[in-house]
Amino acid sequence: MARPKSDDKHNALLLAAEQVFAQRGLAAAPTSAISKQAGVAEGTLFTYFRTKDELVNALYRAIKLDLADALMTRFPRTGPVRDRLEYLWDAFVDWGVANPQRLNVLDQLSVADRVSEESKAVGYEPFAEIEALAQHSIETGVLHAYPVAFIAATMKSMAETTMAFMTQYPAEAGQYRTIGFKVFWSGIACNTDS
Amino acid sequence: MARPKSDDKHNALLLAAEQVFAQRGLAAAPTSAISKQAGVAEGTLFTYFRTKDELVNALYRAIKLDLADALMTRFPRTGPVRDRLEYLWDAFVDWGVANPQRLNVLDQLSVADRVSEESKAVGYEPFAEIEALAQHSIETGVLHAYPVAFIAATMKSMAETTMAFMTQYPAEAGQYRTIGFKVFWSGIACNTDS
Amino acid sequence: MARPKSDDKHNALLLAAEQVFAQRGLAAAPTSAISKQAGVAEGTLFTYFRTKDELVNALYRAIKLDLADALMTRFPRTGPVRDRLEYLWDAFVDWGVANPQRLNVLDQLSVADRVSEESKAVGYEPFAEIEALAQHSIETGVLHAYPVAFIAATMKSMAETTMAFMTQYPAEAGQYRTIGFKVFWSGIACNTDS
Amino acid sequence: MARPKSDDKHNALLLAAEQVFAQRGLAAAPTSAISKQAGVAEGTLFTYFRTKDELVNALYRAIKLDLADALMTRFPRTGPVRDRLEYLWDAFVDWGVANPQRLNVLDQLSVADRVSEESKAVGYEPFAEIEALAQHSIETGVLHAYPVAFIAATMKSMAETTMAFMTQYPAEAGQYRTIGFKVFWSGIACNTDS
DNA sequence: AATGAATGAGGATTCATTCAT
DNA sequence: GATGAATGAATCCTCATTCAT
């Protein structure tokens, strides 16, 4: 018996949770609303996720995985550092603008204490390669010798700021995307031109 | 007047709310816990704040006001732009590191939909001067011609990132403070040396 | 020190209670709303009436007294029974139509269990004379030999029905007043003409 | 379907509400007392009635339906008007005397503003036939040409007065029932003998 | 006496979770 | 496995009453 429970329902519940969290906020989202949105009975939710917390954590990981997929799948493993980082940047903000609801929920979950440390660690893993890139770039003198975690966090927070403006002013989205990266790159690169 | 409404209790409730929100999260903070923490009866909370939402909004404004006081009171109205911005940066991150709980709650409140748009507008007002400085600096060619709101948002998000690291690694707090500002300044200034 | 407390406030509170009960219903009328309507502090209500129940009972008695005044002050002690009963009838329904709010509250209070049996007895007393008239009329063969209490209750309930119609259809108020009495009189009199 | 919503519990809650309202009064009847009386959990009440108001309205309709059943099911559609009205009268007062608690609650509900106009309209419908009978009787000269609504209201209020006496003096219940109808009939009929 | 802040029990309703069907 | 009724603790808020001022 490989997997008796339906993948469809599992995913429907995750998607429903995302929608409900986006609409009503993580705090004010009863499980009943989630199961309703997913088109299943209230009790069914609990055969797929033992508790609400488990659902929340699963959703966090799913979103992070989706994001990782968007960033890392076609990530160029060669070429100039600037180009490779810009690839990540564009992939990130494009993902955020294309999935504003998902981004919104990710923001909520990142602050919520319902998400366990373990989930955060798991969610971070796919992005470790970025830190490796940063580490290498520091050693080759392309980036300033700041802690890599700090560089990664800077990238994340600046990208999120950028996404917020892109979402708010869709007409200028392209400009914000460019500006955002320039600010970020200028902040961390030794030689801005490279 | 009989027993005048006491400022002490008003403040005690605000402080208690901050503590309880920090410990248990905005979502899971019953008013009963807040009144208990404040040392008053459950009903008393509602003579000072008609609803929980009103308390939340009052707390948001109070924290913003406190932050504004920390940043703007001694803010130098003259001198090089870089120095003036660095003053703000230092004041901001020092405040955040000195009041981690308050900062945490501010972050929670900034995302929460319990905080009204009006409160956000009121909370933002004292910081308008920063945007004015940015605007002036753009016109004099000191800063890049990016939208001032974007520059302000960048400053905020980078400072928060910096604070997170300062809090997590207190031993290197000073270094992070410096690094953070350098990254920010390099990102927005036309001539990095100025 | 005959009466240190002010009659004005006493009456203002009774009047306020009447208004608030009429507007919001006896059940949903907080004492705070009553004191506010009366223009006094919340605590003041309790120096005039020890409890809410005491206020309710006092109001019941006051309304009954007012009604008794309207009915009995000029009540003709001589003349044909029919005329004397019609006098009462007219006085009753005219009072009700002139004071619809007071009548409404009286109806609410008559059903409420907050009003004590003692209050009901006290409230009934001024109307005892009506029963005496009925008793006499039975003995002289003018009215049917039904229990006097039943005749009195019949008069009351029919008058209230009549008032409801007079209030609802003010244009035909006069006709309902006449019809109502005719129905009542025909029901209890041996000889309808007398 | 999992566990179907049980008619038993629905009725148990309605009955419990009736009992609790009768004992404690509509105003002072917490839902917790009702669910306890019904033998269900506090939350269960709200799976059968979304709000307390909905329960109150459902109870009002149920009582009215029960009363309608008692009056109208075997109501003779032919025969002398007097006999037909007397049938209704007897059915009404017998029902009231047999169900004093239900009658008491009906009285409370009839005054309460928790009962919606819609419920009142629905509750009145089954009795419309009585007004039709009155209308017909007026046209054939059996009853006085008073507004039918007024006649109906007279019947109701006199019957309730009668019931009060029957309940208070059970030994003379039969006599009050007869007297009551005679008073009513004499009040409205053109020819008392018919 | 007048005021209105303080109190805390109580009330309607919600909700995560369980379990009978 | 799916369903949704059942549960009862928890929550925000109200309110009659008390009492410090």
Residue C140 lies in a domain: yes
Across residues A154-171, what is the average pLDDT? 94
Do residue C126 and residue C148 come from a single domain?
yes
Residue A58 CA to residue B98 CA, distance in Å, equals 35
Asked if residue C112 lies in contact with residue C28, where contact means CB atoms within 8 angstroms, the answer is no
Across residues B141-153, what is the average pLDDT? 95
Among A12, A32, A50, which residue terminates a domain? A50
Q: What is the pLDDT of residue C5?
A: 65
Q: Which of D79, D71, D95, D191 is nearest to D143 (CA)?
A: D191
Which nucleotide is the nearest neighbour of B38, by CA and C1'? Answer: E6
Do residue B89 and residue B101 come from a single domain?
yes
Cβ atoms < 10 Å from Cβ of B52: 16
Q: Which nucleotides of strand E are protein-proximal, with an atom < 7 A from a CB?
A: 1-21
Residue D64 CA to residue D121 CA, distance in Å, equals 11
Residue C67 CA to residue C130 CA, distance in Å, equals 13
Do residue D159 and residue D71 come from a single domain?
yes
Model confidence at C3: pLDDT above 70: no
Per-residue pLDDT band for C1 (boundaries 50, 70, 90) equals very low
**C1’ E14 / CA A53, Å:** 18
**Residue B159 CA: distances (Å) to CA of A157, B95, B108, B152, B164:** 10, 11, 16, 11, 9
Across residues B40-52, what is the average pLDDT? 97
Q: What is the pLDDT of residues C103-130, one digit of tens each?
A: 999 988 988 888 999 999 999 889 888 9
Q: What is the pLDDT of residues C25-43, one digit of tens each?
A: 888 899 999 999 999 999 9
With contacts defined as CB-CB under 8 Å, which chain B residues touch A144? 182
Does D164 contact chain C (CB < 8 Å)?
A: yes
| Most B-contacting residue of A144, A154, A163 (CB-CB within 10 A), to test interface | A154
**C1’ E20 / CA D174, Å:** 51
pLDDT: which is higher, D181 or D26: D181
By C-alpha to C1' distance, F3 is nearest to D2
Residue C26 CA to residue C57 CA, distance in Å, equals 12
Asked if residue D192 lies in contact with residue D186, where contact means CB atoms within 8 angstroms, the answer is yes
| Most B-contacting residue of A21, A85, A93, A111 (CB-CB within 10 A), to test interface | A111
Across residues D39-59, what is the average pLDDT? 97
- Angstroms from D187 CA to nearest CA on chain C: 4
Residue D55 lies in a domain: no
Contacts of B49 (CB under 8 A, 6+ apart): B13, B55, B58
Residue B131 CA to residue A95 CA, distance in Å, equals 29
Contacts of A140 (CB under 8 A, 6+ apart): none
List of chains touching D (3+ CB pairs within 8 A):
C
Residue D194 lies in a domain: no
Q: What does the DSSP assignment read for C122-161?
A: HHHGGGHHHHHHHHHHHHTTSB-S--HHHHHHHHHHHHHH
Asked if residue C142 lies in contact with residue C194, where contact means CB atoms within 8 angstroms, the answer is yes
Across residues A166-184, what is the average pLDDT? 96
Q: Residue C193 corresponds to which tokens in the numbers above?
A: 């003409």
**Residue D39 CA: distances (Å) to CA of A57, D12, D17, D35:** 39, 8, 12, 6
Residue A194 lies in a domain: no
Per-residue pLDDT band for A6 (boundaries 50, 70, 90) equals confident
Q: Considering only residues 6-35 of protein chain B, which place a Cβ less than 7 A from any atom of strand F?
A: 28-32
Asked if residue D177 lies in contact with residue D90, where contact means CB atoms within 8 angstroms, the answer is yes
CA angle B105, B110, B116 (to 5 degrees): 115
Give phi and psi for D164, each to the nearest 5: -60, -40
Residue A55 CA to residue C126 CA, distance in Å, equals 72
Model confidence at A1: pLDDT above 50: no
The number of CA neighbours under 13 Å toward the Cβ of B92 is 25
Model confidence at B90: pLDDT above 50: yes
| Residue whose pair of structure tokens reads 């659902």 in the numeric block | A55
With contacts defined as CB-CB under 8 Å, which chain A residues touch B107? 111
Q: What is the pLDDT of residue B88?
A: 97
Do residue D138 and residue D74 come from a single domain?
yes
Do residue B105 and residue B179 come from a single domain?
yes
Which nucleotide is the nearest neighbour of C47, by CA and C1'? Answer: E1
DSSP-based three-state secondary structure for B49: coil
Do residue C129 and residue C148 come from a single domain?
yes
Beta bridge pairs of residue D189: D143
Whether B153 and A146 lie within 8 Å, measured CB to CB: no
> A119-123, C83-87, C112-116, C167-171: lowest mean pLDDT where?
C112-116
Model confidence at B194: pLDDT above 60: no
Whether A158 and B157 lie within 8 Å, measured CB to CB: yes
Does D190 contact chain C (CB < 8 Å)?
A: no
Range of the domain at D125: 61-188
- Angstroms from A43 CA to nearest CA on chain B: 23
Model confidence at B193: pLDDT above 80: no
Does C121 contact chain D (CB < 8 Å)?
A: no
> A107-111, B125-129, B146-150, C30-34: lowest mean pLDDT where?
A107-111
Beta bridge pairs of residue A189: A143
Residue C156 CA to residue C138 CA, distance in Å, equals 18
| Residue whose pair of structure tokens reads 């009901």 in the numeric block | C120
Q: Considering only residues 115-144 of protein chain B, which place a Cβ less than 7 A from any atom of strand F?
A: none
Per-residue burial over B54-88, b = 16 or more CB atoms within 10 Å of its CB, e = otherwise = ebbbbbbbbbbeebbebbeeeeeeeeebbebbbeb
Among C25, C50, C75, which residue terminates a domain? C50
Do residue D86 and residue D166 come from a single domain?
yes
**Residue A97 CA: distances (Å) to CA of A86, A92, A153:** 16, 9, 19
Do residue A43 and residue A62 come from a single domain?
no
Instruction: Describe the crossing of helices A31-38 and A7-24 by its angle, rounded to 10 degrees.
Output: 130
Give phi and psi for D138, each to the nearest 5: -65, -45
Do residue D110 and residue D76 come from a single domain?
yes
DSSP-based three-state secondary structure for D115: coil
- Angstroms from B158 CA to nearest CA on chain A: 7
Does C113 contact chain D (CB < 8 Å)?
A: yes
With contacts defined as CB-CB under 8 Å, which chain A residues touch B161? 150, 153-154, 156-157
**C1’ F8 / CA D43, Å:** 7
Does C27 contact chain D (CB < 8 Å)?
A: yes
Among A18, A34, A50, which residue terminates a domain? A50
Look up the CATH number of the domain holding residue A22. 1.10.10.60
Does A110 contact chain B (CB < 8 Å)?
A: no
Beta bridge pairs of residue A57: none
Asked if residue A13 lies in contact with residue A4, where contact means CB atoms within 8 angstroms, the answer is no
Cβ atoms < 10 Å from Cβ of A183: 24
Q: What is the pLDDT of residue D175?
A: 97
Residue B182 CA to residue D111 CA, distance in Å, equals 75
Residue B194 lies in a domain: no
Residue B193 lies in a domain: no
Q: Which of C63, C78, C66, C144 is nearest to C109 (CA)?
A: C63
Per-residue pLDDT band for A110 (boundaries 50, 70, 90) equals confident
Across residues A73-91, what is the average pLDDT? 95
Residue A41 CA to residue A36 CA, distance in Å, equals 7
Contacts of C73 (CB under 8 A, 6+ apart): none
Q: What is the pLDDT of residue C193?
A: 60
DSSP-based three-state secondary structure for C24: helix
Residue D3 lies in a domain: yes
Do residue A37 and residue A64 come from a single domain?
no
| Most D-contacting residue of C107, C109, C111, C185 (CB-CB within 10 A), to test interface | C111
Does D154 contact chain C (CB < 8 Å)?
A: yes
Does A179 contact chain B (CB < 8 Å)?
A: yes
Do residue A8 and residue A32 come from a single domain?
yes
Q: What is the pLDDT of residue C2?
A: 37
Chains C, D: CB pairs < 8 Å = 69
| Domains in chain B, number | 2
Asked if residue D4 lies in contact with residue D88, where contact means CB atoms within 8 angstroms, the answer is no
Chains A, B: CB pairs < 8 Å = 68
**Residue B60 CA: distances (Å) to CA of B109, B110, B111, B136, C193:** 7, 8, 11, 29, 81
By C-alpha to C1' distance, F6 is nearest to D44
Q: What is the pLDDT of residues A40-66, one digit of tens each?
A: 999 999 999 999 999 999 999 999 999
Residue B152 lies in a domain: yes
Look up the CATH number of the domain holding residue B97. 1.10.357.10
**C1’ F5 / CA D42, Å:** 13
Do residue B135 and residue B162 come from a single domain?
yes
